[in-house]
Amino acid sequence: MKHKLIIAGLIISSLFSSCQQFEDDYLETDAPSTLKPELIFSDAELAKGAVDGIKVPFAETNSYRGRFLPYYGLNTDVEWYNASQTAGDKADLCVYNASPSNTEMNNITNAYAMMYMGIERANICIDGIRKFGNPKPDTAMGQLLGEALTLRAIYYADLLRAWGDVPARFEPITTATLYLPKSSRDVIYKQIIADLGEASTLVAWPNATAYTSTVEHVNKAFVKGFRARLALAASGYQQYPDGVRRSTDPELSVATMYALALKESREVIQSGSAHLESTFEGLWRKYNEEVTTAGGESLWELPFADGRGRMLFTFAVKHTAAVDQFQANGANRGGVAGPLPFVFYDYDQTDTRRDVTCVPYKYGAAGANNIAKQELGTLDTWYFGKYRYEWMKRYVTSTNDDGVNKMYMRYAEVLLIAAETANELEGPSAAMPYLKEIRRRSFSAADQAVKVENYVNSKNSKDAMFTAIVDENKYEFTGEMERKQNLIRWNLLKVKLDEAKQKMADLSARTGNYATVPATLYYKYRTDNVSLDIYGLNRGETTNPGATYSSITWTWTGTAADTKINSLYKTGVNPDNRQFWPIWKVFIDGSNGQLKNDYGYENL
């Protein structure tokens, strides 16, 4: 059973009562509601309950669970909402066409509000622990303060990447601060980067204490890695109200922030406190098996209880039947999003990440004994193989949630941050060891000399190495919805989206780099009579393998193809001018005139 949060009662009524119904389901209550801050935050167990309570808003219905995670980060040059061509408010969130009144988002319990609820809880905990807890490194109170600072930074980081400039709240709300205008994101970035610097002195390394033995608690490797990620985001290109540019704040310059990111990532690497899993498939099997032991590749996970969270519900390989041998999560679970159709063909054929990441089949209707078989889909609809009910050890019976955590950051990203920043500051030779470590896990021993050593050694200019790192992020992280922010900070969002549209058109027409993609797939069932043996996915597999195989046409042409290709982003919209969602109308209307939209949303 996964870690369950425990909260010490109604710690501060104005903060915690709004989620009471959810807390009754998700949390165990073991203290009276009359406790005061000076009592709570001077006692480590009670303070731990309060810090755990900061995490509750992650799992509210319209928060990360049902709105932010299912929609933020789509559509990129590798991932998309599989129904992008279907007009409606769900697709609008992904195709750079969201309006402030979007019906999926425009309510007071939306992720935007829940993020601020989490921030307010964090502010109260931070204030209380500082006043009453005597937090020091290597103490329980120090660890709790570090965790509270980090959780607040997580909420703010996600606000910034989804909405750009937002109000800055770093103290508990008072009547004087109830309504605030937007602050510059530069101010917020500087604060949370500084906060994470403090947190890194307070929290323990993975497995250094019992508390950091699970990735559902914050540890030093995550804090440093996350700080490095934010340093790159803060110094990168992004849309400001006056256009797409880098920050003009000298504290957020590329030189300063890249040096910080390189330092932090190298310290994580040198600590030996985390490592790549031995195989890419093994990493994702452990994830779906809900292994939360710290010290491996996962650095921190957004924790969901067994009956909460929708990672597989949303992103898994699709299961058509309401009940089959792998899940009872309801009909048509998974498959909401997937890789773009060409991504499978962009991988090197020997790259072990390809078949884990890109899946061309779904599970069909259940037959006798609720057994469902794999069924081939169509060339334009693929699924993320990183999320699989069939790899779970627990049988999901809830029809609304699966309870699988969100892996928020993993060690592979630390290696690629080190590669990117070392290349920028020290040159390609300094980046090579980190890129080689990533690729070494991805190819068999027989392919190492060519695919790792020769490939990386050939990237001997700064530009060539940067391009290789952009590509490696693609091969490593497709399906994890980290790509969008990286494309934005690299100033490659529209460039790569247009490139992706052209690649899809070429695949549809079997021209250019996709001229040799086979147009027929052959398949038969393996001895388990569930799993498909597929021939024809690889280039060159064009010879009929024999009478034991059936075949389907593997093409995607005509008006339907054009419509779907063009739905990667809304026709007439420039994605570089829609890098963020608008603040939803309900929050604008309730801001006492303090909030407004930018980025062209002002009159919508």
Summarised one tens digit per residue, pLDDT across range 98-129 is 999 999 999 999 999 999 999 999 999 999 99
pTM (2 d.p.): 0.94
Burial class of residue 463 in the structure, from the number of CB atoms within 10 Å of its CB (0-12 exposed, 13-18 middle, 19+ buried)? exposed
DSSP tally for the chain: helices H, then strands E: 24, 15
Residue 293's beta-bridge partner residues? 214
In-domain check, residue 534: yes
Would you say residue 79 lies in a domain?
A: no
CA distance 405 to 589: 34
**pLDDT the model gives residue 151:** 98
Runs of H (alpha helix) within 28-134 = 37-40, 44-53, 69-71, 89-94, 111-132
How far is residue 277 from each of residues 144, 169, 274, 296, 536, measured CA to CA in Å?
A: 28, 38, 9, 6, 30
Per-residue pLDDT of 123-153, as tens digits, reads 999 999 999 999 999 999 999 999 999 999 9
Task: Read off the pLDDT of each residue in 579-594 and give the average, rounded to a whole number.
Answer: 97
Q: Give the C-alpha distances (Å, rounded to integers) separating 443 from 287, 350, 439, 455, 469.
A: 21, 7, 7, 12, 17
- Rounded to whole angstroms, the Cα distance separating 373 from 36 reads 57
**pLDDT reading at 1 higher than 90:** no
Query: Per the domain annotation, does 95 fall within a domain?
Result: no
What interhelical angle do 558-566 and 493-509 show, nearest 10?
170
Residue 560 has pLDDT above 60, yes or no: yes
pLDDT for position 10: 38
Percent residues over pLDDT 90 in the chain: 92
Give 362's contacts (C-beta < 8 A, 6+ positions apart): 317, 318, 319, 320, 335, 374, 375, 377, 383
Cβ(136)–Cβ(142) under 8 Å?
yes
Q: How far is CA 49 from the centre of its chain?
A: 26
| Total number of domains in the chain | 1
Give the mean pLDDT of 167-172. 98
In a domain, 519, yes or no: yes
Is residue 548 in a domain?
yes
pLDDT of residue 306: 84
- So what's the pLDDT on residue 35? 76
Q: What is the pLDDT at residue 94?
A: 98
pLDDT of amino acid 99: 97
Q: Label residue 34 by pLDDT band (50, 70, 90).
A: low
Confidence of residue 422 (pLDDT cuts 50, 70, 90): very high
Asked if 246 contacts 236 with a C-beta cutoff of 8 angstroms, the reply is yes
Residue identified by tokens 């909030």 is 595
Per-residue three-class SS string for 217-281? CCCHHHHHHHHHHHHHHHHCCEEECCEEECCCCHHHCHHHHHHHHHHHHHHHHHHCCCCCCCCHH
Q: Cis bond leading into 219, ω under 30°?
A: no
Structure tokens at 469: 């790192």
Q: Which residues fall within 8 angstroms of residue 442, CB to CB, at 6 or more apart?
A: 280, 351, 352, 353, 451, 475
- Asked if the structure places residue 541 within a domain, the reply is yes
Residue appearing with tokens 């997580």? 154
Structural tokens at position 601: 């949303």
Q: At what angle do helices 185-202 and 140-163 cross, to 10 degrees?
A: 160
- pLDDT reported for residue 83: 96
pLDDT for the residue numbered 602: 82
Average pLDDT over residues 390-414: 97
For residue 264, the number of C-alpha atoms closer than 13 Å in the C-beta half-sphere is 33
Integer angstrom CA distances of residue 503 from 99, 102, 487, 496, 508? 29, 31, 17, 10, 9
> Rounded mean pLDDT of the chain?
94
Q: What is the pLDDT of residue 581?
A: 98
- Give the Å distances, CA to CA, from 290 to 395, 457, 478: 12, 37, 20
Q: What is the pLDDT of residues 278-302, one digit of tens each?
A: 999 999 999 999 999 999 999 999 9
DSSP three-state, residue 101: coil
Burial class (CB in 10 A: 0-12, 13-18, 19+), 357: buried
The token duo for 410 is: 């993993």
pLDDT tens readout for residues 502-556:
999 999 999 999 999 999 999 999 999 999 999 999 999 999 999 999 999 999 9
Residue 547 lies in a domain: yes
CB 163 within 8 A of CB 583: yes
Average pLDDT for 561-567: 95
Assess if residue 207 is contained within a domain: no
Residue 461 confidence (pLDDT):
98
Domain with 527, as residue range(s), is: 512-559
| Structure confidence at residue 567 as a pLDDT band (50, 70, 90) | very high
Question: What pLDDT was estimated at residue 210?
Answer: 97
